[in-house]
Amino acid sequence: MKSSKSKILSFCFLGVWGFLFAQIEFNDSFQKQLLLLCAEHGFISPLMLVVTQIFFSTFFLPCSVLTLLAGVLWGWKLGMVYSVTATLTASLFTFLLGRFYLNKIIVPDGLDKIRSDINEAILKYGWKASFVVHINPFIPGSSLGYLFGGAKIDMLSFLLGAMVGTLPLQFLMVYSGGFMVRMANF
């Protein structure tokens, strides 16, 4: 029974996510409303992007829609600045949660071996381990802070890997969002 609930929840989640993605990417009136909102609240808009990304990351929700939104709202140059800032802030937040709270949770014996294997790989490769995991577009990048926070990696190595690993996908998404707005205004 739990399996069918899980499938239904996943289907609903993907449906909502797809709808939001489509609205941000293809709905001109939705984009214009967002642009007006940002124009009226210049300082609060980037701050809301950061806060929303922290919220999404905390609950393991993908932030790609927010990255696309940054391109729609601010174009690719400023959108990249805000998107990278939001990603690194959310990554740092989940890293600190992992470091100070999740690391203290007692792990069952079967998972303890996995945890030690992950720690060993992270210690061996340092920031490169963070880079390799963050470059994967199918894993919510900002949420990876939980994993690395529980490992024995220093915060700067984690953030360096997160920044370098997420840049290609962020550029693609932010540029795509900005491109759609330019095409709509063309």
Work out the mean pLDDT of the chain and round it to a whole number.
81
Give a three-class secondary structure readout of the chain: CHHHHHHHHHHHHHHHHHHHHHHHHHCHHHHHHHHHHHHHCCCHHHHHHHHHHHHHHHCCCCCHHHHHHHHHHHHHHHHHHHHHHHHHHHHHHHHHHHHHCHHHCCCCHHHHHHHHHHHHHHHHHCHHHHHHHHCCCCCCHHHHHHHHHCCCCCHHHHHHHHHHHHHHHHHHHHHHHHHHHHHHHC
Whether pLDDT at 64 is above 60: yes
Instruction: Tell which wins on pLDDT, 1 or 149.
Output: 149
> What was the pLDDT predicted at 8?
76
Band of residue 107 on the pLDDT scale cut at 50, 70, 90? low
Query: Of 104 and 106, which is predicted with more confidence?
Result: 104
Residue 98 has pLDDT above 90, yes or no: no
Mean pLDDT value of segment 40-49: 82
